Structure 1
Amino acid sequence: MLPPDRRRGPQKTATASRMEGRSMTEVATLQERYAEVTGRIADAAQRSGRRPQDVILVAVTKYAEPDQIKTLVEMGHRHLGESQAQQLEQRAAIIDEYAQRLRLLERTRRSNIAEIDPSLLPAETDDPVRWHMIGHLQRNKAKKIAPLVRLVHSVDSLRLAEELQQIGLKKDIDIEVLVQVDCSGEETKHGCPLPAAFPLAEQIETMAHVHVRGLMTMAPHTDNPEDARPVFARCRELFDEIKTTGIGEGKFNLLSMGMTADYEIGIEEGANIVRVGSALFSS
């Protein structure tokens, strides 16, 4: 992943002129935080024997201001995540239109997406921004967000998968998903039980418009990030077991583990997608 653009010169870039309407202190703070997070991702990837570009950073925009998201897009970041369907719909309407205009102005600007292994990405599209639905998705909200997202991280039941299949059939679209697994045993956590994950993935495999790409899990909220390690290790073991069956025709290769408090642990345990919000956008 590319660090924030730090080019210097007497002339202002187009990006700099667009940022002038915002506090330059706020812009600099976001750039510094982005560099910190991507640097930590790179270090964790190297510790696990992988390249930094093998890990996708999903910037979770739940608590971000629209101008902060625009700044991130201007910096070249493309993967954005939301946990609530209504907010994703609202944010996508604003940010996608802005990103399209931005691309018209800067068609030659390099994006960090080009450096990520293409086999690790949701299906390639020409979209300048790729939205991820990372929170619990109610079936009655799926219709609105399905056409907007590149990856749904939170499919935890056959009923939700069937709803997405019907949406895909009616709209003639393909929807890529992760099976959310409860590896911690916490009653408050969404996700299917460990023994149910493979059967659910097999059932999704039979659907024409829903494609299973991997697993997602969440660790318990604790003061010690190391508490997440055994949870992530269990999910990685399950991921490897399912992957060896050949499900997904070789495209079962996405493992989403780790948030702001524990994303480095997630990467060390095999995650190639991390979901980070407050480390980027907290006040």
Structure 2
Amino acid sequence: MHAISEALDRVSTAIENAAIRAGRKPSDVTLVAASKKTEILQIEAAIAWGLRIFGENRVQEAHAKFLDSALIKKIEALHLIGPLQTNKVKKVVGQFDLIHSVDSLHLAEKIEKEALRQGITQSILIEVNIAGEENKHGVSLAQTPNLVEAIRKLAHLKLLGLMTIPPLTESAEAARPYFSKLRKLGESLQLHKFSMGMSRDFEVAIEEGATWVRPGTAIFGRRTL
């Protein structure tokens, strides 16, 4: 698994350089390894390198790989970075350190109810459909302020910031306006933490203010779907 160690060296250096270019501290950017469809040996290699925060897209897969295994004791945090269905809320609240994909008040209220039942506060991000794509999850740009206001009234949710997945563009640079738009939206709502940027565009995302980046392929290579 030497390839994963080398890949993480490259990604870590790229994160540091992008932050410096933007006049930011590299420590302000957190690497969340998107580990969907990865093998346990790959995850163990990443942990051996020093990686401690992983993001999973699917609740069932996250339980199988992390939450129901000894690996959960070897990491610092597990994030849910994929869509969350309301019928999976009980398997997520209190299990994941951060939910990136809250995109409706209905879902937020379900999470609030379960967090109340458990007597905890659940950290979340609001997922914004920054380009208004029909095939994407996320609240619309126009509705985001209303959702932020409503979620701030829920006592057992801690809203940390915003998340987005930009449209697939021909180049990483072409994604810059979408990242910039998310940052400006967040700042207008007194939110300053942003989950944005995956393998092909995380450096641009950092230059535009990302505080969490979610590369997967850049670390683990291409995975079969």
Please state which band the TM-score falls in when normalised by the shorter chain. Answer: over 0.9
Q: Which residue of 1 aligns with 2:178?
A: 231
Is contact 1:198–1:242 with CA below 8 Å preserved after alignment? Answer: yes
SS of alignment partner, residue 167 of structure 2 = coil
Q: For the structure 1 residues 224 and 98, does the alpha-carbon distance in structure 2 shift closer, same or farther, using more than 3 Å as the test?
A: closer
Q: Which residue of 40, 43, 48 corresponds with 2:17?
A: 43
Structure 1 residue aligned with 2:58: 84
Corresponding residue for 1:266? 205
1:202 aligned residue (121, 145, 149): 149
Q: Give the letter for the 1:45 counterpart.
A: A
**1:93, distance to aligned residue in structure 2 (A):** 2.8
Q: Rate the CA distance shift 1:197–1:129 in 2: closer, same or farther, 3 A.
A: same
TM-score normalized by the length of structure 1: 0.75
| Distance in 2 of aligned mates of 1:89 and 1:175 | 18
Residue of structure 2 in register with 1:240 after alignment: 187
Query: Gapped runs of 5+ residues in structure 2?
Result: none
CA–CA separation in structure 1 for the residues paired with 2:185 and 2:51: 30
Moved over 3 A (4+): none
For 1:131 and 1:99, the matched residues in 2 are separated by 8
1:99, CA displacement in angstroms?
A: 5.2
Q: Cα distance, 1:130 vs. partner?
A: 0.5
Write the deviation string for residues 174-233 of structure 1: whole angstroms up to 9, x where unpaired: 111011111112111111011211211111111111111100011111231122111111
Structure 2 CA distance for aligned equivalents of residues 182 and 59 of structure 1: 22
Alignment of 1:155-174 (within 5 A): 155-174=102-121
Q: Equivalent residue for 1:221?
A: 168
Give the 5 Å matches for 1:249-264: 252-264=191-203
Mapped partners of 2:136, 2:206: distance in 1:
21
User: Structure 1 residue 132: deviation in Å?
Assistant: 0.6
CA distance in 2, matches of 1:137, 1:56: 22
Work out whether 1:98 is the aligned partner of 2:71.
yes
Identity of aligned residues (%): 39
How many angstroms apart in 2 are the aligned matches of 1:225 and 1:241? 25
Q: SS of 2:189's equivalent? A: helix
**Matches of 2:121 and 2:149, distance apart in 1:** 17
Cα separation, partners in 2 of 1:90 and 1:192, compared to 1, 3 Å: same
